[in-house]
Every structure is written in C-alpha cells, then in structure tokens.
C-alpha cells in the first residue's frame, strides 16, 4: 500500500471565465510583466503551486492531458500570416516551468506526465512513490474552443496543487492511499480535481488492479 498525507491544498475552478479575465485576476500574483509571457494554464497552475511555496527539497509531479491547447489554437488561428508572438506562446515551457524559471527556483525532482487513459493514476502513483519529504502534486487543463470538437482539448478550465508528506502531522487535511486490489476502473484528472475541490471522500478502483482511498480530516 502507498500512502501520503495532504498538508496543503489550492484549487482554482474559474468556470466560464475568459482567458483575458483570468489574466487580469491573477496578474497581481506574479512579477510585473511576467504574465505577458505566460499561458492561461501557466497562470492558473503557477498561482496554485505558488500558494504552497515550493522549495529546493520538494519534488513536483505535474499532470495535464492537453497542456497549452488554447495557445496552440491562437497560433493556428493566426494563419495565413502566422504570428511570431503566438508561436512563442504555443511552444512555451510547461505551466510549472513558467513559474519556476521566473523565480529561478530549483526543485529536487520534476516529473511531468500526460497522455494515455491512465495518466491521472500514474500521476498519483508517482507522487506516492517519490522519496522526497514533500511532494507537490499539481496539474490542470484549459478549456479549448475549436480543438474541443476534435477531441484535442479539455471542455473545462481548472488547476490544483496539493502538498503531500509521508507523516501526518497535526495539521493534515486528509490522506490518500493506493493499494493493489481486484477490479477495473478509471480516474480522470478532472475527477481527481473535483475530489480535491470538494474535499470529497473516495473509495474505488482507479486503474486495473488498483484501488484508491481518499479521506479528509
């Protein structure tokens, strides 16, 4: 059985908020001028992760299914006169790197995960297996427009960051466990976000042969 305790948590569920509105809402959380070079997902995930004050001894596990799909849409929409600025945005480093490079802050380990039906499960297993004293598990998606019709973007914008430790301590918010067990199931990253956002208990299969339990204090 793998187990970690949730010590801190930040979630952002902006609903139908437009990217420009999200930028305006979050720009004060970053150095002046930094948000001009950041994607919507970079702003959302970066803000959530910054709340946990990542340090050099932390491991960071980052998961997203579609990454900066909105930025890619913007660049493709600029054709037949492709925008150099939108091109740079579309190939920007990941949301986590957008925060950490600007801070020039090292971390002990950085593990980005994406793709496949079970990537949310692999995200959780990686976080629970990490030897780091504190693991910052973060991720999110940004709502697509026309790429959504092709199954290449998320239908919802959200971001999360959770600090996980091996020891419970007096201020633990909850506990996450993974154990081998018969059965089959799937846990998507959006479902994981809803568990965190609502601090909802969970017990069930999340991958073939794996069961997850989430309990809150």
Q: What percent of the chain has pLDDT over 70?
A: 97
Residues 125 and 44: their CA atoms lie apart, in Å, by 23
Give the global pTM.
0.91
Give the residue numbers spanning the domain of 169. 2-216
Min mean pLDDT across 33-47, 141-155, 166-180, 192-206 is at 33-47
User: What local confidence, expressed as pLDDT, does residue 161 receive?
Assistant: 98
Q: What percent of the chain has pLDDT over 90?
A: 63
Domain count, the chain: 1
Residue 214 has pLDDT above 70, yes or no: yes
- Residues 173-200: tens digit of each pLDDT: 999 999 999 989 999 999 999 999 999 9
User: What local confidence, expressed as pLDDT, does residue 93 receive?
Assistant: 67
Residues pairing with 70 in the sheet: none
User: What local confidence, expressed as pLDDT, does residue 100 receive?
Assistant: 79
Q: Strand 2-12 vs strand 59-63: parallel, antiparallel, or unpaired?
A: unpaired
- Cα radius of gyration rounded to whole Å, the chain: 17
- Residues 92-131: tens digit of each pLDDT: 667 888 887 777 778 889 999 998 889 999 999 999 999 9
Which residue from 90, 68, 30, 87 is spatially nearest to 153, judged by alpha carbons? Answer: 68
Which residue from 73, 176, 69 is spatially nearest to 127, judged by alpha carbons? Answer: 176
Residues pairing with 109 in the sheet: 59
Q: What phi-psi label fits residue 25: left (phi over 0), alpha (psi between -120 and 50 degrees) or beta?
A: alpha
Mean pLDDT of the chain: 91
What's the CATH number where 25 sits?
3.40.47
């Amino acid at each position: 059985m793998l187990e970690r305790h949730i010590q801190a948590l930040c979630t952002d569920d902006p609903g139908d908020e437009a990217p420009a509105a999200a930028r305006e809402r979050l720009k004060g959380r970053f150095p002046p001028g930094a948000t001009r070079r950041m994607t919507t997902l970079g702003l959302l995930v970066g803000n959530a992760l910054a709340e946990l004050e990542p340090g050099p001894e932390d491991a960071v596990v980052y998961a997203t299914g579609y990454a900066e799909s909105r930025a890619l849409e913007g660049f493709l929409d600029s054709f037949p006169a492709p925008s150099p600025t939108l091109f740079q945005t579309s190939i920007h480093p990941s949301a986590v790197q957008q925060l950490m490079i600007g801070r020039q802050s090292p971390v002990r380990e950085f593990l980005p995960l994406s793709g496949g039906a079970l990537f949310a499960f692999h995200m959780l297993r990686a976080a629970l297996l990490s030897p780091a004293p504190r693991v910052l598990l973060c991720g999110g998606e940004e709502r697509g427009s026309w790429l959504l019709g092709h199954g290449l973007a998320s239908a919802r914008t959200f971001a999360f960051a959770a600090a996980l430790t091996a020891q419970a301590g007096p201020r633990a918010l909850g506990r996450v466990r993974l154990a081998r067990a018969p059965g089959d199931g799937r846990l998507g990253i959006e479902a994981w976000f809803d568990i965190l956002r609502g601090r909802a208990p969970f017990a069930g299969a999340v991958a073939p042969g794996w069961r997850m339990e989430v309990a809150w204090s």
